[in-house]
Structure 1
Amino acid sequence: MTFARAHILPRSGTKRELLRKKGQFWTPDWIADVMVAYVLQGKPGRLFDPAVGQGAFFHAAKRYEQANSISLELLGYDIDKDVVNQARKSGLSDGDLRHVAIRDFVLNPPEETFPAIIANPPYIRHHRLTVEQKQNLSEFAFRATGRRIDGRAGLHVYFLIRALQSLAPEGRLAYIVSADICEGVFAHALWQWISAHYRLDGVITFSPEAAPFPDVDTNALIFFLRNMKPMTTFPWVKCLKRDAKNLISLFAGKTHNDDEGLQIFRRKLSEAIVTGLSRPPLESAHEHTLGDFATVMRGIVTGDNDFFFMTACRARELGIPNTFLTKALGRTRDVIGETFGTDDLKRLEACGRPTQLLTINGLRFDQLPTSIQTYLKEGEERGLPNKPLIRTRNPWYRMEVRKVPPIMFAYLGRRNARFIRNYAGVVPLTCLLCVYPKSDALDFVERLWKVLSHPETIANLSIVGKSYGAGAIKVEPRALERLPLPTALVQREKLDKFIHPRQDVLDFG
């Protein structure tokens, strides 16, 4: 089997921004062949694609039609007429596209249902939707599911709901989508509804080496679903190399031979929904989590780093007294290793990096030094009081406050998520999370940091984090508190004694 060259994505500039706005990421041929093989295995006669784009699924369907000597009618929607015209240039004929309508699938759906639906929906995140679009989509989702879907759901979430509604009885849906569909705050309500009404035939995840969209900052999954009575278990697959053959054998009802390119798990649906469908199954229950030993908070949101976060030299030029400055860290990449000390702070200052956060709290404007009053007036002239985050503060220049965290966490990284021991006494901005051990005892803090920095603990981040492209992971504060800590490490460092200390005394002897 041969595959066409993958569509090359723009990496930056206006073309990249247009890509984000429209959410158009074209499906590679080898992925399209797998998805088509699943939905067409029962020879349904009709295939519907609600987001035709450049026609990758139509091309794959025609290959399948020829290889299996079947007759197939192609139908579809798209909202972008120009892209459908590109599909013609890609080799699809007017006959192939005669049943493609320029139409909004979610808000103006077809009246009929289909035995086979295949989709790579537009990946448009919630902040790129208008208020009116969000309201219409929210109302649609509530009517469809009886549940309120959190407003942070992207268009691709509503696309899935509509696609499932459009399935004929026993119809099949193959759906490739970003991992946030089962990791976001809306995921639990969504998958509770899906798992109660539809059968999950399988999930395919991908290693970074096999990623369908290697130049995209998101991690893709494929879901295979049927409009049938749900089952309690399903195959969960991790694809390790770009090879369609074994995936087709596994999900198209053919004999499958074990292959080193696939990791296959038979999972309970209830466990997978709780753990997260994008995440591997938990090997065992964990006795301890980070939340047993520490609390987590996000770093400081300034509202305007350029104004409030400055170099030491700039602060001196402005005449701002040290009593109104807080040592701060603004970028993860400013931390070279797993510790950050006073020498690192001096290094940043020598390089001209900002390290001083303007912190004005508890004083009226007329009580402030003249130098600060002058600077704040500059901010007013620049319109800072009207910025979204700042306008909720009273006064507008009031700054968030954090205690100095003994440990910081680089929560969004590309294979470099790590816990950082803070010896410099800085507070982080939103680039880092603050980890506050439940004891201030220095020995306890050091032991906890040692456990957190261990490779076994770092590996567990995939259990609680949101996965992105190229191995990146993002972990929110409450999720980080659920991070499992290996029991052997906890016992070796005697952290377990902290949970049930005798007479409230910590003893690490």
Structure 2
Amino acid sequence: MARDCKIPRSWIKREALRVKGQFWTPDWAADFMAAYVLQDKPDRLLDPALGGGVFFHAAKRYAATRGFDVALFGRDIDKNILIEAKNSGLSDADLRNVEIRDFVLDPPVETFPAIIVNPPYIRHHRMTATQKEQLRGFARTATGREIDGRAGLHVYFLIRSLLALAPGGRLAYIVSADICEGVFSSALWQWICSRYRLDAVVAFAPEATPFPGIDTNALVFLIGNEDPATTFTWISCREPKADELIHCLSGNTSRTYTGIDVYPRIVSEALETGLSRPPAENVTHMYRLGDFASVMRGIVTGDNDFFFMTQSKAKELGIPDSLFVEAIGRMRDIEGDSVALEDIRRLEASGRPTRLLRINGVPFDDLPLAVQRYLREGEEKGLPEKTLIKTRRPWYRMETRQVPPIMFAYLGRRNARFIRNLAGVVPLTCLLCVYPKETAPDFIDRLWKVLSDTRTVENLRKVGKSYGSGAIKVEPRALERLPLPDDLVRAEGLERYLQPKQGILNFNECDAVKT
């Protein structure tokens, strides 16, 4: 019988789960994962992040219907897990081989023929510096590669799971898509695919997500401890059901399915395109955004409540206009694909902050008394000791940005877009700054036409990180790699601006273009 694995609606309860990294796998996903790792009827199975025991239940169901016994082994660091597992219907006999121990840094001595994991999803900023250093040291020893410090615990769990896999064994691993989209992903997956056989990757349409209500895009990786292969199966799941996935993963990849789409893929192509993304179209792109513009993140204030204020508050404090710049603080303050001065006036009239305090290059004693009083209030609130502020000299010095002619809303649900900046504002970190390499208005207008075309916007998925409900996030360097449709570039005559750099274009053309 299926159990309730819904994510709690309460923010407090959800935050408690985030601290532990616990998000339970639904039964239907556990069933196809268990079917994959138990295909060869192994005698032992390990779940190194036991949680509520959903994988133990799935393994028992699969083994019972196929007439074999499998011993269940588990790990977790949460002492209350055994109580939750028993409450789910597991017996003392089912849990007799479960240990409360750290799987990554205190691993089991023996290897296992079947491992199934929903790892704790704890992002790097929730780990201590000591934990990060220990984990990075483990990864360095295990892989011979440096894993970027922004990798979360789920990355190290994957490495340890592979090391704990017996020869010929199978691993099923459900995890967020950032494991193959983050800055650490290239080194990680080159190591995996050079040592293990990637059998399949299962992606999920928003209507079939295993974790509804959670802002993450899940993937399931199915990996064998066999000689690496050059091809694998990539599956897009459109219905939250296990049957077709079980049939497909048992070798029936050529059958016609109604709830899943099956693609045979070459490993090298998938590593280049991205394991979370569908197969690349057979289209080469000569041009990228970085050929025509550079990209920077918006301004980090360190404390928006203090530095970013409404026009009425600025007047109330008596701070002169000369110490402010007009700014945009959130994406939803921009209603369309452009922002003009009348939009800023509208925001001011509705009480939205539009004034960014920028006191740079003026000695404290030369500031108006009203400003001195306000800065002393900030000191009394402890602002100079805040993480992003304490390295600044003086502490109230603000980051600066030239006004970007184009901005980019880099994280949104089906609404990531380029925004024409007609108001002359600077953005905070909710937006990216796009600076065309030519300042001529005609060039900027032509580049804007290319960027605002739907085909260009569709290409964002080729360079962005995927999140739940169709959201994508694109970082500055990734946005510079955004492919631009060749015919659009030529139609606007942008290629002529690159003639002096033709040698660079030829080099990029020969290199592997990331699409």
> Residue 399 and residue 233 in structure 1: after superposition, are their counterparts in 2 closer, same or farther (change >3 A)?
same
1:155 to 2:149 alignment: no
Aligned to 2:513: none
Provide the secondary structure at the position in 1 that maps to 2:233.
strand
Q: Give the CA deviation at 1:264.
A: 2.1
Give the distance between the partners of 2:40 and 2:25, measured in 1 at CA.
23
Aligned to 1:18: 16
1:412-468 Cα distance to aligned partner (Å, 9 max, x none): 111111111111110000000001111122222122112111111111111100111
Give the distance between the partners of 1:26 and 1:186, measured in 2 at CA.
25
Aligned to 1:431: 430
1:173 to 2:166 alignment: no
Counterpart residue identity of residue 322, structure 1: D
Give the distance between the partners of 2:489 and 2:23, measured in 1 at CA.
44
Aligned to 2:292: 293
Counterpart residue identity of residue 157, structure 1: V
Provide the secondary structure at the position in 1 that maps to 2:174.
strand
> Residue 428 and residue 42 in structure 1: after superposition, are their counterparts in 2 closer, same or farther (change >3 A)?
same
Q: Give the CA deviation at 1:271.
A: 2.1
Aligned to 2:268: 270
1:134-166 Cα distance to aligned partner (Å, 9 max, x none): 121111111111111111111111100110000
Q: Give the CA deviation at 1:89.
A: 1.4
Give the distance between the partners of 2:334 and 2:162, measured in 1 at CA.
46
TM-score (norm 1): 0.96
Aligned to 1:507: none
Q: Give the CA deviation at 1:266.
A: 1.9
Identity within the alignment, %: 65
Aligned to 1:326: 325
Which stretches in structure 2 are left out of the alignment for 5+ residues?
502-515
Counterpart residue identity of residue 318, structure 2: G
Q: Which has the higher mean CA deviation after the structures are superposed, 429-438 or 68-77? A: 68-77
For the 8 Å contact 2:338–2:420, the answer to whether it is kept is yes
Q: Which has the higher mean CA deviation after the structures are superposed, 104-113 or 240-249? A: 240-249
Q: Which has the higher mean CA deviation after the structures are superposed, 412-421 or 442-451? A: 442-451
- Select the residue among 200, 215, 229 that pairs with 2:198: 200
> Residue 239 and residue 423 in structure 1: after superposition, are their counterparts in 2 closer, same or farther (change >3 A)?
same
Aligned to 2:141: 143
Q: Give the CA deviation at 1:333.
A: 0.6
Q: Give the CA deviation at 1:380.
A: 1.2
Q: Give the CA deviation at 1:254.
A: 4.5
Give the distance between the partners of 1:498 and 1:130, measured in 2 at CA.
48
For the 8 Å contact 2:45–2:71, the answer to whether it is kept is yes
Give the distance between the partners of 2:157 and 2:379, measured in 1 at CA.
43
1:294-329 Cα distance to aligned partner (Å, 9 max, x none): 111100011111111111111111221221110000
Counterpart residue identity of residue 478, structure 2: A
Q: Give the CA deviation at 1:281.
A: 2.3
For the 8 Å contact 1:41–1:253, the answer to whether it is kept is no
Give the distance between the partners of 1:245 and 1:191, measured in 2 at CA.
29
Give the distance between the partners of 2:359 and 2:336, measured in 1 at CA.
32
1:109-131 Cα distance to aligned partner (Å, 9 max, x none): 10000001000011111111112
Give the distance between the partners of 2:486 and 2:77, measured in 1 at CA.
53
Provide the secondary structure at the position in 1 that maps to 2:80.
helix
Q: Give the CA deviation at 1:11.
A: 2.9
Give the distance between the partners of 1:12 and 1:90, measured in 2 at CA.
22
1:461-485 Cα distance to aligned partner (Å, 9 max, x none): 1110011111111000000000111
Give the distance between the partners of 1:253 and 1:43, measured in 2 at CA.
16
Give the distance between the partners of 1:66 and 1:266, measured in 2 at CA.
32
Q: Give the CA deviation at 1:263.
A: 2.3
1:146-202 Cα distance to aligned partner (Å, 9 max, x none): 111111111111100110000111111000011111111111111111111111111
Give the distance between the partners of 2:64 and 2:252, measured in 1 at CA.
18
1:46-76 Cα distance to aligned partner (Å, 9 max, x none): 1111111111111111111121111211111
1:10-409 aligned within 5 A:
10-254=8-252, 257-283=255-281, 284-409=283-408
Give the distance between the partners of 2:375 and 2:221, measured in 1 at CA.
53
For the 8 Å contact 1:6–1:29, the answer to whether it is kept is no
Provide the secondary structure at the position in 1 that maps to 2:478.
helix
For the 8 Å contact 1:147–1:189, the answer to whether it is kept is yes
Counterpart residue identity of residue 11, structure 1: R
For the 8 Å contact 1:246–1:256, the answer to whether it is kept is no
Give the distance between the partners of 1:189 and 1:356, measured in 2 at CA.
43
Provide the secondary structure at the position in 2 that maps to 1:105.
coil
Counterpart residue identity of residue 274, structure 1: E
Provide the secondary structure at the position in 2 that maps to 1:392.
coil
For the 8 Å contact 2:253–2:262, the answer to whether it is kept is no
Give the distance between the partners of 2:472 and 2:387, measured in 1 at CA.
27
Q: Give the CA deviation at 1:282.
A: 1.9
Aligned to 2:459: 460
Q: Give the CA deviation at 1:501.
A: 7.0
1:20-50 Cα distance to aligned partner (Å, 9 max, x none): 1011111111111110111111111111111
Give the distance between the partners of 2:91 and 2:372, measured in 1 at CA.
69
Q: Give the CA deviation at 1:5.
A: 5.2
For the 8 Å contact 1:360–1:399, the answer to whether it is kept is yes
Provide the secondary structure at the position in 2 that maps to 1:81.
coil
Q: Give the CA deviation at 1:255.
A: 6.7
Give the distance between the partners of 2:348 and 2:202, measured in 1 at CA.
47
For the 8 Å contact 1:217–1:468, the answer to whether it is kept is yes
Provide the secondary structure at the position in 1 that maps to 2:419.
strand
> Residue 202 and residue 94 in structure 1: after superposition, are their counterparts in 2 closer, same or farther (change >3 A)?
same
Q: Which has the higher mean CA deviation after the structures are superposed, 489-498 or 25-34? A: 489-498
Give the distance between the partners of 2:88 and 2:252, measured in 1 at CA.
31
Q: RMSD across aligned C-alpha pairs, in angstroms?
A: 1.4
Q: Give the CA deviation at 1:81.
A: 2.5
Give the distance between the partners of 1:214 and 1:341, measured in 2 at CA.
37
Counterpart residue identity of residue 390, structure 1: I
Give the distance between the partners of 2:6 and 2:236, measured in 1 at CA.
24
